[in-house]
Amino acid sequence: MILVNLLDSRSVAGDLGWVAYPRNGWEEIGEVDEDYAPIHTYQVCRVMEQNQNNWLHTNWILTEGAQRVFIELKFTLRDCNSLPGGVGTCKETFNMYYYETDEGDETDAEDGDEMMDAGGGGGGGGVGGVMEEVDRSIKESRYTKVDTIAADESFTELDLGDRVMKLNTEVRDLGPLTRKGFYLAFQDLGSCIALVSVRVFYKRCPLLVKSLAEFPDTIPGSEASQLVEVAGRCVNGSLALLDERPRMHCSAEGEWLVPIGKCVCQPGFEEINGSCQVCRAGFYRSVLQTSSCSKCPPHSRARQTGATACTCVEGYYKTDTDPPNMACTRPPSAPRNAISNVNETSVFLEWSVPLETGGRKDGRYNILCRRVLPEGGRGGGLEECGPNVRFLPRRMGLANTSVMVADLQSHTNYSFLLEAVNGVSELAGGHSRQYVSLNVTTNQAAPSPVSVVRKGHVGKNSIAVSWAEPDRPNGIILEYEIKYFEKEQDSSYTIIKSTKTEMVVDSLKPSSAYIFQVRARTSAGYGAFSRRFEFQTSPYLAASSERTQVSVVAVSITLALVLMALVAGFLLSGRRCGYSKAKQDPEEEKMHFHNGHIKFPGVRTYVDPHTYEDPNQAVHEFAQEIDVSFISIERVIGAGEFGEVCSGPLRLPGKREIQVAIKTLKAGYTEQQRRDFLWEASIMGQFDHPNIIHLEGVVTKSKPVMIITEYMENGSLDTFLKKNDAQFTVIQLVGMLRGIASGMRYLSDMGYVHRDLAARNILVNSNLVCKVSDFGLSRVLEDDPEAAYTTRGGKIPIRWTAPEAIAYRKFTSASDVWSYGIVMWEVMSYGERPYWEMSNQDVIKAVEESYRLPGPMDCPAALYHLMMDCWQRERSSRPKFEEIVCLLDKLIRNPSSLKTLLNSSHRVSNLLVEHASVEVAISTSLTLSQTVGEWLDSIKMGRYTELFTEGGYSSLDTVAQMTSEDVRRVGVNLAGHQKKIINGIQEMRVHLINSVPI
Ligand code: AMP
């Protein structure tokens, strides 16, 4: 704050020139202070006289632009009580007035003088006196009262006597002033007063430089509470930030208040002690928002002083959007630990973040997918994967470290390049890119669903349907399955197989809607069914409607007949599965019944490693060599023929760690033993099926030699079942059997005969998935002509082996089916030893004499019948694995079919059951109304009706007990027809069992 005096009576050296009137009122007393400087004191003390009105007014005081001024009065005032006798008129206050005017000319003063001269004559009176009064009142009326001033202190006689001067100081402010100047006046109405000094001043806000902004010397506003906003001016080469112009507020007290905004140094400069200084080398200041120069961030530099930015050192980059204080960064290194997980034609790729992120957080991953062209193909190299391959969530700009690549081609090699990129990869250019590559081979995949099924010619009992090959066959289509059923009757459906893409479905009801679905099968299995297509047969013809009516009348005659018709209808409804029954045109039928081992083009065939001269070559053809350092042996889990079986983790580079079983070849082996040991790997390595134990690889380059397979947590099936006696549901057991049958179907399709199928050679994983293992024995038996006759060490699994294999080493898939029947029995009896403690010789004899194992406890009849069929003496009468899988699937789909258990006569625990005496449990309350002839008609074998009747098979229950030999005996000579009838009989058994109330 600056105080500016406009008037200070003390500092005026000469005459003050103030005017008093009347002249005998205020009078100036010329005094000097101790320094002999004049003191202009005005006093008046006419307390004894009435009607005092004494004025003293200053000369014109220039405001200098101030709108508010302060007046400081110093005075002494006499206490009226101290005055002898003058109390009546004595006053202790005086008034202060002011009068604003732009012109402080002499007139006023002269007027005053005149006034004073005029009034000089004392008390007044006469004409002149009146004029004077009028003039005086006009002049006084120009004045505005500021205040009545009283003393804080007054002095008494005593005080005077003590020579103590009680000086009062009063300050009043005045405003708003609008003129150039003003007069002050003091009015005394009869007090005893001495005005020692009068000071008039105003306050200013002084020039101020703050935050590089200069605020000029400023006169405050007119109101006491007013703040005058003043804009600052940026100095020293500084700049005002946009919207932050510097401002300050000047208060009435002359103080700067409320600073707003600021000035800052230009980029490249910083504020030091209120001035802008250039940034040193190595430092920069880029934006106005920061106040001081900063050291260049890592990997950047500023060679010159006054830098507004630092430049990145070589190999480091900065994007336009990177903040100036961010370090220069570089592209990331390649992703690490990339692994792939192939699931059919999808690949799940996973990797770890790069070791070097380049200093950025905006890292992303891109995938480059290329198909490896088969050798000799055009270009012989790589081809972009194209738009049909799907990447989930996307191919480029992946934030996570995994991606799912779907819809690849099956059995195809792919090369994936995984690249990590970040915000500066583009700036760094292509040469900076680092990839990790992964080579992946897709597996087989089931075909995609058939998309459209079309209707062709429609008859009253038939509909021709056709369909197109699936969009993605993923292999060679071996056959199609056509599933159909009457609309809203989907619990009873028929399945027909065909190798063609069209067929005529007959034996349909007239005027009825049917639902059709088609699916394709390749060596990888079935694809999903197409969606449902609904087609309608043509309406009745008159003749047939008559017939129907007749039959309706007949049906209504007796309830029993209706029941029988229902059973017959069920039989005829055509729920068909390869094994149980089929109703197809001759070609389809031929496919169905004769293709068990037909090699369709594209189905791989098992290669006997024996055909290789060098067994090592065979091993390495089919098995991958694994570096022993990738394997850790942790536990011994069993004893194999050649050495211990252990388990532990396998960590192949680029692959997820998995648990494996490690079969070792014990030390001191002969070359022959080594060959035999690795034989199993050469065989196993050729298989790729979920129910065949999977070979991971072999270790042959170091000792001990090892075979590495997937680890099966629950070990071998026989021990597992014994440990968990009666713990599983029938459906779980059938599920296990289904898995084994599926594995065996695969092996038989490959042309491989196992020869040692037994529960001990099935392994079980933690999900109860059963897998066929132990592929060594076939060679041992083949090589050793004595083997069949040897009783040593269980090498010849007599109890599991079909009679023809024991008798003359006729090992076929049909003999594997026999063994499968024994496995079924083992499973259903929770690991019971087949034929218990009977000797091998007794077993051979009993089987020769047509005795068979009795049904295990609580075994569903349908399963026991399947076992018995597997144990048909005539090997061609045994079901194929394909048919077994199909029947088991059917039982699983229809669990109520498993509810019928064998009656006790088939469960005699220590007696074998005569094969021919196995009866089908038919409820006596139900007799079949259908004749044998009708039944034969329904399977298009009506031509044999007479032969059946002549052979003594005149009722369905006698037919249900026929064996294939019986069928041949009655005179059915054609193999296809024998099969059709046998299958019909087997399905009849299943249905009869299903229809028995439990
Ligand atoms: P093997 O020589 O194949 O009969 O194996 C001997 C025993 O080792 C088997 O009975 C199993 O208990 C155990 N074993 C063999 N392979 C595996 C495997 N892949 N997973 C778990 N256990 C196995």
643-660 confidence digits (pLDDT tens): 888 899 999 988 889 999
Strand partners, 349: 340, 403
Structure-token pair, residue 159: 């005080």
Structure-token pair, residue 697: 């690889």
CB atoms within 10 A of CB 837: 7
Rounded CA-CA distance 448/344 in Å is: 12
> Mean pLDDT, to the nearest integer, of 651-679?
88
CA of 607 to the centre of ligand 1 (A): 24
Rounded CA-CA distance 573/988 in Å is: 12
Is the pLDDT higher at 86 or at 704?
704
Among protein residues, the one with the nearest Cα to ligand 1's atom 5 is 640
Is the pLDDT higher at 38 or at 4?
4
Out of 79, 108, 188, 756, the active site residue is: 756
- Give the DSSP per-residue string, 269-303: EEEETTEEEEPPTTEE---TT--S-EEPPTTEE--
Residue 976's pLDDT is: 78
Cβ–ligand 1 distance for 774 under 6 Å, the answer yes
Residue 561 — very low, low, confident or very high, per pLDDT cuts 50/70/90? very low
Residue 787's pLDDT is: 41
Ligand 1 atom closest to the Cα of residue 693 is 19
CA of 401 to the centre of ligand 1 (A): 36
Residue 589's pLDDT is: 31
Residue 185, pLDDT > 50, answer yes
Rounded CA-CA distance 395/384 in Å is: 13
Is the pLDDT higher at 991 or at 317?
317
CA of 664 to the centre of ligand 1 (A): 11
Cβ–ligand 1 distance for 661 under 6 Å, the answer yes
Q: Which long-range contacts (CB under 8 A, 24 or more apart) does 898-901 make?
A: 898/730, 898/731, 898/734, 898/860, 898/862, 898/863, 899/860, 899/998, 900/860, 900/861, 900/862, 900/993, 900/994, 900/996, 900/998, 901/858, 901/859, 901/860, 901/861
Rounded CA-CA distance 811/820 in Å is: 13
Residue 934's pLDDT is: 83
Is-contact 115 134, C-beta < 8 A? no
CA of 818 to the centre of ligand 1 (A): 23
Rounded CA-CA distance 43/400 in Å is: 98
Residue 906's pLDDT is: 54
Rounded CA-CA distance 324/327 in Å is: 8
What is the signed CA dihedral for 118, 124, 125, 129, rounded to 10 degrees? Answer: 30
Amino acid at residue number 588:
E
Is-contact 97 145, C-beta < 8 A? yes
CA of 680 to the centre of ligand 1 (A): 13
> Mean pLDDT, to the nearest integer, of 555-562?
37
Rounded CA-CA distance 223/220 in Å is: 8
195-217 confidence digits (pLDDT tens): 999 999 999 999 998 888 999 99
Residue 591's pLDDT is: 30
Ligand 1 atom closest to the Cα of residue 773 is 3
Residue 366's pLDDT is: 95
Is the pLDDT higher at 955 or at 367?
367
**DSSP symbol at 357:** -
Residue 635 — very low, low, confident or very high, per pLDDT cuts 50/70/90? confident
Q: Which long-range contacts (CB under 8 A, 24 or more apart) does 209-212 make?
A: 209/235, 209/274, 210/246, 210/248, 210/256, 210/259, 211/246, 211/259, 211/262, 211/263, 212/236, 212/238, 212/246, 212/262, 212/263, 212/264, 212/265, 212/271, 212/274, 212/275, 212/276
Name the range with the highest mean pLDDT among 428-437, 639-648, 826-835: 826-835
250-287 confidence digits (pLDDT tens): 988 899 988 888 888 889 999 888 889 999 999 999 87
**33-42, 159-168, 169-178: lowest mean pLDDT where?**
159-168
Ligand 1 atom closest to the Cα of residue 641 is 2
Residue 165's pLDDT is: 56
Residue 604's pLDDT is: 64
**DSSP symbol at 307:** B
Residue 177, pLDDT > 80, answer yes
Residue 110's pLDDT is: 42
Cβ–ligand 1 distance for 369 under 6 Å, the answer no
CA of 695 to the centre of ligand 1 (A): 13
Cβ–ligand 1 distance for 709 under 6 Å, the answer yes
Rounded CA-CA distance 61/69 in Å is: 11
Residue 849's pLDDT is: 86
Residue 49's pLDDT is: 84
Task: Select from 244, 283, 245 the least CA-distant residue to 267.
Answer: 283
CB atoms within 10 A of CB 477: 20
Cβ–ligand 1 distance for 638 under 6 Å, the answer yes
Residue 808's pLDDT is: 83
Ligand 1 atom closest to the Cα of residue 774 is 3
Ligand 1 atom closest to the Cα of residue 680 is 3
Q: Tokens 């059917």 appear where?
A: 890
Query: What burial letters (b/e) apply to 157-193, b meaning 16+ CB within 10 Å?
Result: eebeeeeeebbbeeeeebbebeebbbbbbbbbebbbb
Structure-token pair, residue 519: 């699916």
Residue 87's pLDDT is: 59
Cβ–ligand 1 distance for 681 under 6 Å, the answer no
Cβ–ligand 1 distance for 496 under 6 Å, the answer no
Ligand 1 atom closest to the Cα of residue 640 is 2
- R_g of the chain computed on alpha carbons: 59
CA 455 to chain centre: 44
Among protein residues, the one with the nearest Cα to ligand 1's atom 13 is 638
> Within 13 Å and on the Cβ side, how many CA atoms surround 164?
9
Cβ–ligand 1 distance for 720 under 6 Å, the answer no
> Within 13 Å and on the Cβ side, how many CA atoms surround 171?
7
215-250 confidence digits (pLDDT tens): 999 999 888 888 888 999 998 888 887 777 888 889
Residue 878's pLDDT is: 95
- Give the DSSP per-residue string, 805-837: HHHH----HHHHHHHHHHHHHHHHTTSPPTTTT
3 state DSSP class of 495: strand
Cβ–ligand 1 distance for 773 under 6 Å, the answer yes
Residue 822's pLDDT is: 97
Residue 769, pLDDT > 50, answer yes
Rounded CA-CA distance 981/963 in Å is: 10
> Mean pLDDT, to the nearest integer, of 592-615?
55
**DSSP symbol at 665:** P
Rounded CA-CA distance 700/674 in Å is: 10
Cβ–ligand 1 distance for 769 under 6 Å, the answer no
Residue 756 annotated in active site:
yes
Residue 542, pLDDT > 70, answer no
> Mean pLDDT, to the nearest integer, of 395-418?
90
Average pLDDT, the chain: 81
CA of 626 to the centre of ligand 1 (A): 19
Cβ–ligand 1 distance for 650 under 6 Å, the answer no
Query: What burial letters (b/e) apply to 779-811, b meaning 16+ CB within 10 Å?
Result: bbbeeeeeebeeeeeebbbbbbbbbbbbeebeb
Rounded CA-CA distance 562/262 in Å is: 104
Residue to probe by mutation, ligand 1, list 698, 718, 763, most atoms within 8 Å of CB? 763
Residue 729, pLDDT > 70, answer yes
Among protein residues, the one with the nearest Cα to ligand 1's atom 2 is 640
Contacts of 113 by beta carbon, 8 Å cutoff, 6+ apart: 19
> Mean pLDDT, to the nearest integer, of 381-397?
89
> Mean pLDDT, to the nearest integer, of 673-702?
92
Cβ–ligand 1 distance for 645 under 6 Å, the answer yes
CA of 645 to the centre of ligand 1 (A): 6
Task: Select from 684, 678, 682, 676 the least CA-distant residue to 705.
Answer: 678
Ligand 1 atom closest to the Cα of residue 639 is 6
Cβ–ligand 1 distance for 714 under 6 Å, the answer no
Cβ–ligand 1 distance for 829 under 6 Å, the answer no
Residue 85's pLDDT is: 63
Strand partners, 99: 183
Residue 40, pLDDT > 90, answer no
Q: What is the 3-state secondary structure (H, E, C) of 184-250?
A: EEEEECCEEEEEEEEEEEEEEECCEEECCEEECCECCCCCCCCEEEEECEECCCEEECCCCCCEEEE
Q: Tokens 């399945």 appear where?
A: 495
Cβ–ligand 1 distance for 640 under 6 Å, the answer yes
CA of 723 to the centre of ligand 1 (A): 16
Residue 569's pLDDT is: 37
Residue 995, pLDDT > 60, answer no
CA of 523 to the centre of ligand 1 (A): 28
Cβ–ligand 1 distance for 459 under 6 Å, the answer no
Question: Backbone phi, then psi, for 741, in 5-degree steps?
Answer: -65, -35
Among protein residues, the one with the nearest Cα to ligand 1's atom 16 is 661
Residue 114, pLDDT > 80, answer no
CA of 637 to the centre of ligand 1 (A): 7
Among protein residues, the one with the nearest Cα to ligand 1's atom 17 is 661
> Mean pLDDT, to the nearest integer, of 144-156?
81
Among protein residues, the one with the nearest Cα to ligand 1's atom 1 is 640
> Within 13 Å and on the Cβ side, how many CA atoms surround 362?
12
CA 410 to chain centre: 28
Residue 571's pLDDT is: 38
Longest CA pairwise span in the chain (Å): 180
Cβ–ligand 1 distance for 749 under 6 Å, the answer no
First to last CA, the chain: 113
> Mean pLDDT, to the nearest integer, of 17-26?
87
- Give the DSSP per-residue string, 433-491: --EEEEEEE----PPPPP--EEEEEE-SS-EEEEEPPPS---S---EEEEEEEETT-TT
Q: How many residues are recorded in the chain?
A: 998
Residue 957's pLDDT is: 77
Residue 515, pLDDT > 90, answer yes
Cβ–ligand 1 distance for 377 under 6 Å, the answer no
CB atoms within 10 A of CB 531: 13
785-806 confidence digits (pLDDT tens): 434 444 333 467 889 999 998 8
Is-contact 689 739, C-beta < 8 A? no
Residue 695, pLDDT > 80, answer yes
Is the pLDDT higher at 809 or at 763?
763
970 to 721, 920, 937, 966: CA distances (angstroms): 43, 20, 17, 6
Q: Tokens 């490896």 appear where?
A: 372
H runs (alpha helix) in 142-189: 157-162
Cβ–ligand 1 distance for 990 under 6 Å, the answer no
Residue to probe by mutation, ligand 1, list 716, 756, 770, most atoms within 8 Å of CB? 716
Amino acid at residue number 35:
D
**DSSP symbol at 668:** T
Is-contact 149 23, C-beta < 8 A? no
442-456 confidence digits (pLDDT tens): 876 778 889 899 999
CA of 859 to the centre of ligand 1 (A): 28
CB atoms within 10 A of CB 259: 16
Ligand 1 atom closest to the Cα of residue 712 is 20
> Mean pLDDT, to the nearest integer, of 41-63?
90
CA of 638 to the centre of ligand 1 (A): 6
Rounded CA-CA distance 706/666 in Å is: 9
